[in-house]
Amino acid sequence: MTRQVFVICPLNESHCNISLKLGQKIMPKKKPDENVEEAKWRQWVDNHLVHVLSPNIYRNATEALESFDYITSNGNFSYTEKISVKYAGAAAMYFVSKKLKKKYNITDERAALYEAAETWVDALNGREFLGGSKPNLADLAVFGVLRPIRYLRAGKDMVEHTRIGDWFTRMESVVGESSGIKP
């Protein structure tokens, strides 16, 4: 028998949190320790990992242009829009990334990215996925953040200079190919 808990939270966030906690009690799928570990790493994605990406993918003019080339080649833009978006966007994001680098006290962009990748691999503690034999929501959160940069210079460097490549390959095989990513 499958139980479903529907949660609708239009305005009251605290009500939503209570409903989600109730849903977890009614349908516990994981041990409490697994939920704590998963939540910890999902929070790490939001509070740390995402902040090292922009300084890496917009690190210099070449990488900023590479990022926007990907965006414009996969979007539905006219030729003029592609040129405008690519160059104006790359220039703007280059400067934004410098502000983010300062805001998050990142002195070396690549070192921060490599450290984040190694931190994640250490968290796996020899397991195929944080979820064990199959990915959990933390695995999916990390993968979801890193997948868009995988074939950019920053992502290639990350896989080449850290131990994250094996996990990334396993995630790609479980999740499947993205319709938007072209190596």
Q: What is the pLDDT of residues 51-77, one digit of tens each?
A: 999 999 999 999 999 999 988 887 888
Is residue 121 within 8 Å of residue 164, measured between CB atoms? yes
Neighbours of 151 (CB within 10 A): 15
The answer, yes or no, to whether residue 15 has pLDDT greater than 70, is no
The answer, yes or no, to whether residue 10 has pLDDT greater than 50, is no
**pLDDT at residue number 73:** 84
DSSP-derived secondary structure letter, 148: G
As a whole number, mean pLDDT of residues 137-166 equals: 97
Q: How far is CA 73 from the centre of its chain?
A: 21
Indicate the pTM of the whole model: 0.78
Strand partners, 132: 129
Q: How far apart are CA 84 and CA 81, in angstroms?
A: 5
